[in-house]
C-alpha cells in the first residue's frame, strides 16, 4: 500500500496530521499541542498531577531550548512515552 497518501495518515502513510483546531486549550500552556483524545489517554495512563507536571516541563523546554525549535507547532504526543525524559523528569520533580 505504499505510495498512497491521505490527509488522515499523512503523506504516504506517515505521521497523522492534526488540525490546529483539534488542539486542546490548557491555561498557561502555549507550545504543547495535544488532541482531546491524546490528552484523555494520557490522563488515564498517568493521572492528573503527573501529567500536569510533565506538560509544564515540556512547555518550559519548548519555550527556552534552541534544540526544541523543530518541535514547536507540532503535535507533542510522542514526548509522553512511559520511558521518556518528560515523564521521568515529572516523576522526580518536586513542586
Q: How many CB atoms lie within 10 A of CB 69?
A: 9
Q: How many CB atoms lie within 10 A of CB 62?
A: 21
What pLDDT, on a 0 to 100 scale, did the predictor assign at position 19? 59
Q: Give pTM, 2 decimals.
A: 0.76
What are the residues facing 6 on neighbouring strands? 10
Cell, residue 34: 495535544
pLDDT at 3 over 50: no
Cα angle at 92 between 63 and 57, to 5 degrees? Answer: 10
Report the alpha-carbon distance of residue 90 to residue 23 in Å, rounded: 22
Length of the chain, in residues: 95
What pLDDT, on a 0 to 100 scale, did the predictor assign at position 8? 57
Q: In the chain, where are the structural domains located?
A: 19-92
CA dihedral of 18, 74, 40, 43, whole degrees rounded to 10: 170
Residue-wise pLDDT for 12-61, tens only, equals 555 556 555 678 888 889 999 999 999 999 999 999 999 999 999 999 99
Amino acid at each position: 500500500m505504499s505510495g498512497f497518501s491521505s490527509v488522515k495518515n499523512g503523506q504516504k502513510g506517515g505521521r497523522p496530521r492534526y488540525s490546529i483546531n483539534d488542539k486542546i486549550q490548557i491555561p498557561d500552556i502555549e507550545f504543547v499541542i495535544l488532541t482531546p483524545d491524546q490528552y484523555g489517554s494520557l490522563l488515564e495512563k498517568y493521572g492528573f498531577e503527573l501529567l500536569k507536571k510533565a506538560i509544564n516541563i515540556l512547555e518550559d523546554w519548548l519555550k527556552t531550548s534552541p534544540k526544541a525549535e523543530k518541535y514547536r507547532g507540532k503535535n507533542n504526543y510522542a514526548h509522553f512515552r512511559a520511558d521518556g525524559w518528560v515523564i521521568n523528569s515529572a516523576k522526580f520533580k518536586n513542586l
